[in-house]
Structure formats: structure tokens, C-alpha cells
Chains A and B, each alone.
Chain A
Amino acid sequence: DIQMTQSPSTLSASVGDRVTITCRASQSISSWLAWYQQKPGKAPKLLIYKASSLESGVPSRFSGSGSGTEFTLTISSLQPDDFATYYCQQYNSYSFTFGPGTKVDIK
């Protein structure tokens, strides 16, 4: 099974900061990676698919990059609405595996 890790587990940042979250896969997943944002009490929301493709309606301050085993989600200028938990998910293999999440909170 492909395992996913994320770092950091928690990130404290201020409005306007550039934020980067890293996701690593235990084996190559090409570009078959998605990123989600989840706010308390809400369902996850798709942000990025195929590692770098922005889902329709998602602000352009979100971007994704990487391939193989290492991926990043970048928020270019953190906004108040962006404080949330972010999950990566691989869809390379015949399974669905999520990372453990990165919580972005207010510094």
C-alpha cells in the first residue's frame, strides 16, 4: 500500500504570509495527487488535482507542484478564509490514501 505523509503537522502563520505544505508518498505516484481544504464541521473541499491543476472556482493564490514522491501545496498570500486543515490524497494505485493533514492556524 502507498503511504502518505505531510509536513508540518501544524503551521502557524499570519495573513499575507506565503505558506508551503509538503506531502510525500512512499512510492512514486506520478502526478496523481489531490489536495483538499477542510474547515471545522465541514466536508473537505477539492483544491488541486493531478498535482498542479486548480479546481474550478478555487482562488489562484493556491497552487500545487511536484511529481513522483514529493509534492507541495503553496498559498501565495494567506487570507483569513484559509485557516483550515489541508489533506493530500494519492490516486495512483487501486486505492485511495490520504495524508494525515496539516493544520494552518493563526500565529
Chain B
Amino acid sequence: DADVTQTPRNRITKTGKRIMLECSQTKGHDRMYWYRQDPGLGLRLIYYSFDVKDINKGEISDGYSVSRQAQAKFSLSLESAIPNQTALYFCATSDYGWSQDYGYTFGSGTRLTVV
């Protein structure tokens, strides 16, 4: 099994619908992140969580919410999806502080299309 698992892998939804993207990890990391990737813009941080009770907004949090259900689970919700939220979404995890062995561990991504 992958260290960081995102579900679904692909999703098409209609404008105005609520949708949840899920992320679970087996790394045992405290810190989890949601990024979105758009062509030419790289990855931009939506929300991040340093532990179950610590959730923070990133640079583009408007229109999104998150839930940290457990150390291993971090979900991203679009309350009312709009077409410009069409993107590739990545979940990532990291250990406390900067590990000398690796930075982030990424999931394989969720490709979301809002029509």
C-alpha cells in the first residue's frame, strides 16, 4: 500500500455540489497538507495541519474547508464547487521539523473536474 493514499483518483462533479477529497497516511507523520496544482502555477497550499487540533489556512483557502479526523486522515471539502476549482489536488505529509532524509511524502493526486 502507498504511504499516502488519496481517494478518489478522479472525480467529475457539477457546479454547486459539495465534494470531499480524502487523504490517509501510514507514515505516522503529524503534519499534513493539501495543495492544488494548476498548469504554470505549480502547487499552491490550501490548508495544513500540524496535529489533530491544529489546522491552518494556506495561501488559497477560500472556498475550501478541511477536517483532521485522526493523525492519519485529513479531508478536503469543497462546500459548493465552482469550475475554477478544477485542478489536480495533492495531499502530503511530513514529520515534525525537517527530516534530513526527505521532505514531503506526496499522494498520487486527485484530478477534480467541476462542470
Q: Do A and B come from one complex?
A: no
Residues of A in contact with B (beta carbons under 8 Å apart):
none
